[in-house]
Chain A
Amino acid sequence: SQKIEQNSEALNIQEGKTATLTCNYTNYSPAYLQWYRQDPGRGPVFLLLIRENEKEKRKERLKVTFDTTLKQSLFHITASQPADSATYLCALDRGSYIPTFGRGTSLIVHP
């Protein structure tokens, strides 16, 4: 069966460091992969989309990589700030524009 795996344990890092979150998937051939941020009690907010033929995408302090051989995406936040603390969801889509979401990983940035 299809699986999207994100680390269920919270990632704790110190302010200024780079946070790296992982999204692994199995039995899936996504056309593209998205990352969203979700704050407690709020709806997710879109951050980045990367297509299957792209290796890397950047937006300000954010960087996403997509390795279709490893079936993995890495999400990096450089120079992290306490305001970056949130849950980050990855979502995969075969191209139907109906993505399937992972459970998300909580990031806590300590001042």
Chain B
Amino acid sequence: GAVVSQHPSRVICKSGTSVKIECRSLDFQATTMFWYRQFPKQSLMLMATSNEGSKATYEQGVEKDKFLINHASLTLSTLTVTSAHPEDSSFYICSASAAGGPSGELFFGEGSRLTVL
């Protein structure tokens, strides 16, 4: 199946710094990419939907200035957590849907564990 690569898998940073997470579709073009966060034993919570070349659509309650999303190409989307605080510590996962691919199926990255000290 299609492969989505997410990097870094783990990151530890100090409070107040910014962290960038990359999500790449390796063998297909992703017209749409999604960013989720997941707390332990909780469901995936959609943060935003990004389409290549346009601004991301954020879910209610997600601060767009806090979580900057850039979908610069059909194979790369980035999530930047700005001025991170301990409450931003979570598991962040991206997913992508393929252009012209099977409808609905999402391909997920491996996730990025962010720990803010």
Contacts and interface: CB of A to CB of B under 8 A. Distances in A.
Interface size bucket, A side? 20 to 34
Contacts of B95: 43-44
A41 B43 CA distance: 13
B43 to A, nearest CB: 4
Contacts of A49: 102, 104-105
Interface in A1-56: 4, 8, 32, 34, 36, 41-46, 49
B105 A34 contact: yes
Contacts of A89: 43-44
Interface residues of B, number: 26
A93 B24 CA distance: 24
B1 interface: yes
Residue with the greatest number of chain A CB neighbours at <10 A, chosen from B32, B91, B107, B108: B108
Given A98-B46, A101-B43, A103-B42, A46 B113 contact: no
B92 to A, nearest CB: 10
B49 interface: yes
A46 B113 CA distance: 21
Given A42-B111, A43-B108, 11 more contacts: A8-B41, A34-B105, A36-B108, A43-B110, A43-B111, A49-B102, A49-B104, A97-B32, A97-B104, A98-B34, A104-B43
